[in-house]
Structure 1
Amino acid sequence: MSGSTIIPWVVGNWKMNPIQADATQLIQQFKTLLTQSTIDSDACHIGIAPTLIALDRTHQALSSAPCKVYTVAQDVSRFAGTGAYTGETSAELLVDSQIQHVLIGHSERRDLLGDSVEILKAKLHNALQAGMTIIYCVGESLEQREQGLAEQVVLQQICDIASVVNDEQWSKQVVIAYEPIWAIGTGKTASPQDAQAMHAKIREGLCQMTAHGARIALLYGGSVKPENAVELAACPDINGALVGGASLNAQSFYQIAQAFAQSKQ
């Protein structure tokens, strides 16, 4: 079971959405909700992951929010520093733009864009070296779950990165997000019992890798919405949510963050 000192994370992954005008409106709506009833940063860390071209604008807009809201990059280059890498954005360039958090390993990057284990390890290494906080995504397909391989697949995905994360980095720079692939954008959600069972296995595996395993935040993702957030938040090893579609609605995203903030107090 996770320690009571873990502060939940609720991160909105906007993916390839929305257009700039809608993004500006969405952020303003979310800031208004926070102004009406703020969410203490000690109760819940909140992050928003916009498209690359909206990172700076989002960061500037969130700087005036009534509580801390982190701007999170959706990806980072496997190449470090600067150089002749057309289309790439390195960890150093993100940090130079005051972006300190990044998603790595999302199933859409793995399945659609060819992020292999070696590529993910390179991205993770560079982000860690640049001092970034990584939200590392893991999850199994429906076929893998039906074959009884879900736990094996997810734990292997975590073991894949063990060689590039040292003990201090586990404690300060890594958050794990479990997203069953079959639940992403489908409207299907793992039951709270199934999600908690997987999170408990992840916790167990992390505790075997690092002395800090009991204190690493574990997020659930996969069709998280206000209707299931309270029940998910009540699970002892679920320390937050990586939110997809519901994060494109300010009221829904706020309610999810509120559910986790209130459940862990």
Structure 2
Amino acid sequence: MAPRKLAAGNWKMNGDLAALDQIDALARDHAAPGCDVLICPPAVLIHPMAARVSGLADTIAVGGQDCHAAASGAHTGDISAVQLKDAGASHVILGHSERRTDHGETDAEVTAKAAAAHRAGLVAIICVGESEAQRDAGETLDVIAAQLAGSIPEGATARNTVIAYEPIWAIGTGRTPTNDQIAEVHQLMRDRLTARFADGDQMSLLYGGSVKPGNAAEIFAIAHVNGALVGGASLKASDFGPIVSALGAA
């Protein structure tokens, strides 16, 4: 069985209630997209977005952008995987480079969060990626291999885990790795996951980093690229829709 195709949008700290109209437009203009579609808005929008998509015949799923490793407790400002699930989320992004960089998240913390997500019944989208300095030093594959080994809990399966490769230097910069560079990393990820997990050959592997309507089809044609984790281009249906369509046709 081939890995499921997933177009995931990460709204980051953007959007408001009025922005939920974009979900209606996406569902209307890109019905039966041929792939799974997920939007991860800020936490305050998860419940209203989940309510908005509830009548869309499972066309669009909703996810969170982070969760705490604990199910509850004295953690002011944090949100648990259990709470995300209760609010209507089905997925959660973990270990994004902005969390690793801005909040000092370690591989061990990402693993703990992913395990919590699994316990709550969420799909964990675990992010890995190298910095520009690491790329220039020829350390990319070593960095990705280490992050894979340290950020994925033992209970991971193709049903509860997705891996997203996001080279840090390509996020929001307009720069994109060459097809060969993307293929090299995705092949490494597939090899490592297959060696470690019984169904590692079926885990979905996403590429993220300046994915746009103009380059989506070319990226989705690369071996072991099963979808995308899209940032800014997911905020408007007019931008995200063509990416969804390109993945559905891949």
Q: TM-score normalised to the size of structure 1?
A: 0.90
Asked whether 1:149 is paired with 2:139, we answer: yes
Write the mapping of 1:112-191 to structure 2, written as runs, cut at 5 A.
Answer: 112-162=102-152, 164-166=153-155, 169-191=156-178
8 Å CA contact 1:141–1:180 kept in 2: the answer is: yes
Deviation at 1:67, TM superposition (A): 4.9
8 Å CA contact 2:117–2:123 kept in 1: the answer is: yes
Match of residue 12 from structure 1: 9
Cα distance between partner residues in 1 of 2:36 and 2:92: 14
Deviation at 1:224, TM superposition (A): 0.2
Q: Structure 1: which amino acid aligns with 2:138? A: G
Cα distance between partner residues in 1 of 2:15 and 2:172: 16
Asked whether 1:65 is paired with 2:56, we answer: yes
Unaligned runs of 5+ in 2: none
Deviation at 1:99, TM superposition (A): 1.4
Match of residue 84 from structure 2: 94
8 Å CA contact 2:50–2:87 kept in 1: the answer is: no
Q: Structure 1: which amino acid aligns with 2:60? A: V
Q: Structure 2: which amino acid aligns with 1:224? A: V
Deviation at 1:66, TM superposition (A): 5.4
Deviation at 1:20, TM superposition (A): 2.6
Cα distance between partner residues in 2 of 1:93 and 1:192: 39
Cα distance between partner residues in 1 of 2:37 and 2:88: 16
Asked whether 1:237 is paired with 2:230, we answer: no
8 Å CA contact 1:104–1:135 kept in 2: the answer is: yes
Cα distance between partner residues in 2 of 1:261 and 1:171: 20
Per-residue CA shift, 1:35-90, capped at 9, x if unaligned? xxx124xx31100000010110111111223552110100111222x222211211
Q: Structure 2: which amino acid aligns with 1:100? A: S
**Could you say what secondary structure the match of 2:214 adopts?**
helix
8 Å CA contact 1:39–1:67 kept in 2: the answer is: no
Match of residue 45 from structure 2: 54
Match of residue 211 from structure 2: 224
Instruction: Number of aligned residue pairs: give it.
Output: 250
Q: 1:25 aligns with which of 8, 21, 30?
A: 21
Change (3 A) 1:44 1:126: same
Q: Name the % identity.
A: 38
CA RMSD of aligned residues (A): 1.4
Deviation at 1:196, TM superposition (A): 1.4
- Where has structure 1 moved over 4 Å in runs of 4 or more? none
**Could you say what secondary structure the match of 2:159 adopts?**
helix
Unaligned runs of 5+ in 1: none
Q: 1:109 aligns with which of 99, 119, 143?
A: 99
Cα distance between partner residues in 2 of 1:155 and 1:170: 18
8 Å CA contact 1:33–1:251 kept in 2: the answer is: no
Q: 2:189 aligns with which of 187, 199, 202?
A: 202
Match of residue 79 from structure 1: 70
